């Protein structure tokens, strides 16, 4: 394996870690945990295959060389044991010197982001020599601030905007669009 970036949903990798993905593009594997079943259940015209295709296009825009791994868990019927087992298996593929990026568990944070952060912490934290980096996502009150800002190369800003524009299914949904219209800042806890 190589470096891992764990993204709870299709789009979190581009919203919160685009600059990291640009920097690590040649040697990072993106793993997406949940497929977007909740939106379809709410009657919004988006399917999980569309969400996956958008993620593939976004990662291509960011220059990521490896195809994403989609674990395919439903975000409206969370299977904690299955996700924990999957992360446990992924953790065994890492070697000393590898880095794994996953969501920081934030007070008032997104419930599924915090859940994945907790599962990753318990699985990846037991391997000596593996560097764990927590990225900030958003809370109920908006995008997180604080932590250490990721300073982008100038071209990465353009690439992030191009990646975000791949998520047409999300930009057309009012309660999702706001996340795509916020600032370009990215932070590590």
Sketch the domain layout of the chain as residue ranges.
3-188
d(CA 153, CA 184): 12
Q: Do 164 and 179 touch, CB atoms closer than 8 A?
A: no
**Parallel, antiparallel, or unpaired for β 187-188 and 69-74?**
unpaired
The per-residue pLDDT for 135 is 95
**Parallel, antiparallel, or unpaired for β 28-35 and 138-139?**
unpaired
Alpha helices in the chain (DSSP H): 12-24, 37-41, 48-61, 80-91, 111-124, 154-165, 168-171, 174-181
pTM: 0.92
The per-residue pLDDT for 37 is 60
The per-residue pLDDT for 140 is 64
pLDDT of 71 strictly over 70: yes
The per-residue pLDDT for 183 is 75
Reduced to 3 states (helix: H, G, I; strand: E, B; else coil), residue 164 is helix
Q: Do 59 and 30 touch, CB atoms closer than 8 A?
A: yes
Q: Please give the helix or strand (H or E) that residue 7 lies within, else none.
A: strand 3-9
d(CA 113, CA 111): 6
Residues 155/28/120/179 CA torsion (nearest 10 deg): 30
Q: Which CATH number fits domain 3-188: 3.40.50.10320, 3.40.50.2300, 3.40.50.1110, 3.90.25.10?
A: 3.40.50.10320
pLDDT cut 70: percent of the chain above it: 90
pLDDT cut 90: percent of the chain above it: 59
Q: How many Cβ atoms sit within 10 Å of the Cβ of residue 37?
A: 17
Name the token pair of 45: 């015209």
What would the pLDDT profile of 146-155 be if each residue is shown by its tens digit? 789 999 999 9
Q: Do 150 and 19 touch, CB atoms closer than 8 A?
A: yes
Establish how many alpha carbons lie within 13 A of residue 40's alpha carbon, considering only the half-sphere containing its beta carbon. Answer: 12
What would the pLDDT profile of 101-147 be if each residue is shown by its tens digit? 999 998 888 899 999 999 999 999 888 899 999 999 987 666 666 78
């Amino acid at each position: 394996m190589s470096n891992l970036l764990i993204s709870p949903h299709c789009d979190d990798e581009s919203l919160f870690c685009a600059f990291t993905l640009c920097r690590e593009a040649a040697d990072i594997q993106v793993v997406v945990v949940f497929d977007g079943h909740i939106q379809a259940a709410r009657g919004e015209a988006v399917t999980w295959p569309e969400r996956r295709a958008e993620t593939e296009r976004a990662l291509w825009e960011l220059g990521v060389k490896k195809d994403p791994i989609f674990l395919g868990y439903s975000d409206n019927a969370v299977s904690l044991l299955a996700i924990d087992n999957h992360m446990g298996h992924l953790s065994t593929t890492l070697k000393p010197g590898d880095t794994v990026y996953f969501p920081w568990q934030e007070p008032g944070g997104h419930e599924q982001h915090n859940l994945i952060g907790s599962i990753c912490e318990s699985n990846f934290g037991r391997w000596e020599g593996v560097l764990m980096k927590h990225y900030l996502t958003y809370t109920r009150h908006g995008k997180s601030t604080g932590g250490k800002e990721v300073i982008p190369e100038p071209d990465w800003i353009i690439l992030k905007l191009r990646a975000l524009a791949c998520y047409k299914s999300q930009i057309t949904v009012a309660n999702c669009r706001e996340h795509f219209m916020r600032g370009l800042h990215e932070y590590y806890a």
